Chain A
Amino acid sequence: MSPRTKPSWTPWLYLAPALVVLGGLLAYPIYQLGLISFFQYTQAQVSGGEPTSFQGLGNYAELFGDDQFWQVLGATVVFAAACVVSTLAVGCALAVLLTRVRAVPRLALMLAALGAWATPAITGSTVWLFLFDPDFGPVNRVLGLGDHSWTYGRFSAFFLVLLEVVWCSFPFVMVTVYAGIRAVPAEVLEAAELDGASQWRVWRSVLAPMLRPILVVVTIQSVIWDFKVFTQIYVMTNGGGIAGQNLVLNVYAYQKAFASSQYSLGSAIGVVMLLILLAVTLGYLRLLRRQGEEL
């Protein structure tokens, strides 16, 4: 069913509030962000009354010439990828599990997952930090690790943050995929069963293709969210870890802008992030197009 064509002003009327809000509070700040990234903009310009000066691509040149930037960029990509993969794997596996159990265990798992989902990022981060605290946390006692510090090593700190991120974001994947599986008509699966397909095969050749739109949605959302992780890193590694080893782009931009008042460098990092995510989006849109799906 395709929407009929109606008088052309009505949709714009409906869109007006959204466009006003998005234009003023999203598009305009983004424009400002881009602008700042081309100027010299430090505290002296912001509040000291010194004139701003146009730098062209100077800020970008400085950024790209900095080894730390590339290091942080690499860490961000790897970390986000690890988070996305783990979240999807855990979420999908548990969604399938949910369909195999009776009401009581299903409700238990669902409630536990909703609890994790509902936990604010900041409290989730502090709680996980406390669980892994070298002196008072239960995890080291159970594992017999003594006073091993999880936040000291680069990888173990990232791993700890990853656990928290997966914990609080798998429920979205699980609930969505579960809802999707429930919507698959039983006859389809019955037919597969009659053909004698194994479980893995049913997932691969029946469920996965049918769930494909859902999987694409949760993947793209996970990519967006995990690439922009801020609170968890900021709280759990105390602003970026020992000697900045656990910085990701978002925290790095924040530190550059607000701790060192290099607002223009911070903005340039923000622009780079935006461009990367834009590229991901375009890839996603192409995928949709190729499948002949309509927006």
Chain B
Amino acid sequence: MKLPSRLAALLAAAAVITACAPQTSSNSSSDKDEKTGTLRVWLFQEVGNKPKEKVVDSVVTAFEKDHEGTKVDIEYIPIETRAQRVKAAFNDPKSAPDVMEYGNTDTAGYVKDGGLLDVTKEFGAWSETKDTDPTARQSVTVDGKIYGAPFYVGVRALYYRTDVFEELGLEVPKTMDELAATARKIRAAEPELYGLVVGGAYTYGAMPFVWANGGEIAEGKGGSYASAIDSAAAQKGIKAYTSLFSDDNCPAAKCAGMGGNDTVTAFAAGKAGMAIGGDFSHTAVEAGKVKGKYAVVPLPGVRAGSVAPAFAGGNNIGVLKSTSHRTLAVELMEQLTSKKTQASMFEAMGFLPTFSDVRQQVAAKEPYVEPFAQTLSAGTKFVPASPAWAQIDSSLVLPTMFQEVISGKKDVAAASADAAKKMNDAFASMG
């Protein structure tokens, strides 16, 4: 054949020119520190974002007044696709924002990617931080250095419909088994409602089931991690969670694809008897149809009276290494996470403050904080503090595992073994 040979010759010619390696960007910190200009800020788009915008706007207005010649440009980015956006920003420092909000599970990964600015000095010099609670401080710390300021802490608890419970004469569940039984009773009596609305892609709603059964995502030994998601205890938890995806509670066809926000939205719209929602979901639920018809309790554990360990979530605000307005950006970060801002953010969005004293003050004023505070004090869990976690999270290892079990593609043992393998690969490649 004449054609292929000609092509092959061309390809060979192309292959000869293999001199250079693929491109990289040295994401070194910018040495500029301009005192005027535009600061770009990325914050997360929440369910019912308006109140958040209001608080942020007032901070920004004050900041712009204090610093003549500076403009602050806020953009709210969707949480689901944040990984791509943030990576693109790291890859092109020129178009990166100066300040951004990020989930505390991403801290280690972003630091490893070389994206976040080390603010240890400024953080230490900032008087308010002596009240920062230790869990929150831990969530911005990598190898003893601090890479941002905690914005709020988030824990999840059990939301339930008081009117539905009253009408059906149900008791608030005290154990995880009771929880499942109660959920099925609700669905049986009210086929229009999900009993307990759950989501196949709702990792942090699912993990308490694993933790309550004694399972772990991974076990760390001296900074290196090994997945434990396929241990017997963890499998028991996975089974407990995935068994909730059935026609007598939350049909797999509807619920397998849901994420955390979907379940909260469903509950707020009055489509579910119970939901696992965070303190940060409070505003969205209040704004929904179920206002005044629900209450919150800590998610019950395996034994009566125990609380299922919750994921100590929350977000931080950090400065990007590539900023050319270092002083201004750090100052804006402090303004956005100050005690004052956190107090108003709590009122606006229900975000739990990261300062112990502020949290006590607001808890005294707002009784709904109580179950979340209880959950926090009962002990929380965190994802592996490894840079690999960002990759495990964004490649959807755990949601895929749950969805495989829910849709019957694999049994619990096989799905969890596959997930463990993927996690171990990630740990191995990223240390």
Contact = CB atoms under 8 A, between A and B. Distances in A.
Check if A and B associate.
Answer: yes
Interface of A: 31-32, 35-36, 39, 41-49, 52, 54, 134, 147-149, 151-153, 238, 242-245, 255-256, 258-262, 282, 285-286, 289
B224 interface: no
B18 interface: yes
A41 B22 CA distance: 8
B91 A282 contact: no
A286 B3 CA distance: 8
B91 A260 contact: no
Given A32-B22, A285-B3, A48 B113 contact: yes
Contacts of A286: 1, 3
B127 interface: no
Residue among A152, A153, A242, A285 having the largest count of chain B Cβ atoms under 10 Å: A242
B421 to A, nearest CB: 11
Contacts, number: 113
B400 A52 contact: no
A134 B255 CA distance: 12
Contacts of B20: 35
Contacts of B396: 244, 259
A259 B394 contact: yes
A153 B27 CA distance: 44
B377 interface: no
B115 interface: yes
Contact of A47 (B7, B25, B256, B409): B25
Contacts of A45: 24
Nearest to A237: B257
Contacts of A282: 3-4, 7
A53 B394 CA distance: 24
Contact of B400 (A134, A244, A256, A262): A244
A64 B403 CA distance: 24
Interface stretch (B82-90, B209-217, B225-233, B346-354): B82-90
A45 B91 CA distance: 10
B95 interface: no
B3 A238 contact: no
Contacts of A258: 83-84, 87
B79 interface: no
A49 B28 contact: yes
A149 B253 contact: yes
Interface in B382-396: 387, 391, 394-396
B18 A35 contact: yes
17 contacts: A31-B14, A35-B22, A43-B90, A44-B114, A46-B24, A46-B25, A46-B91, A46-B113, A47-B87, A48-B27, A49-B27, A147-B254, A152-B407, A259-B396, A260-B395, A261-B83, A286-B3
Given A39-B22, A52-B21, A242-B406, 19 more contacts: A36-B22, A41-B22, A43-B87, A46-B90, A47-B115, A49-B114, A148-B253, A149-B253, A151-B257, A152-B407, A242-B200, A243-B200, A243-B403, A258-B84, A259-B84, A260-B395, A282-B4, A286-B1, A289-B3
Contacts of A242: 200, 256-257, 403, 406-407
Contacts of B27: 47-49
Given A134-B254, A259-B396, A285-B3, A47 B114 contact: yes
Contacts of A149: 253-254
Interface string B70-85: 0000000000000110
Nearest to A62: B425
B279 interface: no
Closest 8 CB pairs of A and B: A260-B395, A243-B403, A152-B253, A48-B114, A47-B90, A149-B253, A47-B27, A36-B22
Contacts of A153: 253
Given A46-B24, A49-B24, A243 B409 contact: yes
B430 interface: yes
A183 to B, nearest CB: 29
B191 to A, nearest CB: 11
Contacts of A148: 253
A47 B395 contact: no
Contacts of A52: 21-22, 24
Contacts of B406: 242
B202 to A, nearest CB: 13
Contacts of B395: 255-256, 259-260, 262
Interface string B5-16: 001000000100
A245 B408 CA distance: 12
A155 to B, nearest CB: 12
A260 B403 contact: no
Contacts of A238: 257
A269 B346 CA distance: 46
Interface in B60-115: 83-84, 87, 90-91, 109, 112-115
Interface in B265-320: none
A227 to B, nearest CB: 20
A243 B400 contact: yes
A149 B254 CA distance: 7
Nearest to B19: A35
B334 interface: no
A52 B87 CA distance: 18
Given A31-B14, A151-B257, A39 B21 contact: yes
Contacts of A255: 395
A54 B22 CA distance: 10
Residue among A42, A43, A256, A260 having the largest count of chain B Cβ atoms under 10 Å: A43
Contacts of B429: 42
B387 to A, nearest CB: 8
A160 to B, nearest CB: 14
Contacts of B176: none
